[in-house]
Amino acid sequence: MPDFEAIVGRYLTVEIGGEQHRLFIEEAGRGIPLLCLHTAGNDSRQFRHVMNDKEVTDRFRVVAFDMPYHGRSTPPDQWWLKKPRLTTKLYLEIVRAVWTTLELERPVVMGCSMGGAIVLKVAADYQNEIRGIVGLESSAHAPGRYNDFLHHPAIHGGELCASYTYGLNSPYSPEQNRRENWWYYSQSGPGVYQGDVHFYSNDWDAREDIKTIDTGRCKVALLTGEFDYSCTPAMTEQVAAAIKGSRYTLMKRMGHFPMIENYPDFRPYLLDALDHVAA
């Protein structure tokens, strides 16, 4: 028999801001819903190891999706008339629209990088609707990442974005895995990564919002790699200090993309965080 993986992928129409969006959703497992949010300019393939980990999928229904414009999702109507520009408000609408359309009951929401940022706002605004968050490389404020060369007619955008982010991996992570993440980034549509960084670097500031998170209702686990120089450990420490009862762990020998760059080393940190938020 063919040795199929347990991951199942399907398309789902989701209403976001009054518009219909055709999103690609993949999932594996059963149990507590675990909604995974990919990084800027990438897609849900980054979570393939999580969805193939039986110890995770025996307890969790792991769901990952490609954001509009990203991966295998279809761009919105008349996308050619406007630049991709993600904002905090729109991002929050997208994430909540997915879990309500899928009827996920009190999910755990896990995101990395820009996904690790927005989960903080998800916890602040919807802490009565979710079980908890796992923030990978989470920052409440990250200015200075945006630049015009991320979408420039004289530069190959796919290779630039892929190589720009390649340096955020840990030098200890296997090259095969780092190159896999590079490959996913290289397939991003024109201007998509820049549009995401607009959110992450220009629009995002949750330094006051996170102070309202009640970890008695919504558990918070924060994991950041010691080699991450985009969301540095110090930035996540500031987040943890502002959220009473949150749990922060520094991941040794890890970079900015733990779930894809070095899953075996990331796995113990992940399992411990999931135990915490699902308790």
What is the extent of the structural domain holding 270?
8-278
In a domain, 2, yes or no: no
Say which CATH number the domain at 218 has.
Answer: 3.40.50.1820
The model carries a pTM of: 0.96
How do residues 75-94 score in pLDDT, each as one tens digit?
999 999 999 999 999 999 99
Q: Cα(24)–Cα(213) distance, rounded to whole angstroms?
A: 30
In a domain, 183, yes or no: yes
168 pLDDT more than 90: yes
In a domain, 222, yes or no: yes
- The mean predicted confidence, pLDDT, of the chain is 96
Q: Cα(194)–Cα(184) distance, rounded to whole angstroms?
A: 15
DSSP state of 134: E
Name the packing angle between helices 157-166 and 175-186 (round to 10°): 150
Q: Cα(259)–Cα(279) distance, rounded to whole angstroms?
A: 22
The token duo for 232 is: 């540095």
In a domain, 3, yes or no: no
pLDDT of the residue at 153:
86
In a domain, 1, yes or no: no
How many helices (H) does the chain have, and how many strands (E)?
Answer: 10, 8
Our count of domains for the chain comes to 1
In a domain, 228, yes or no: yes
156 pLDDT more than 90: no
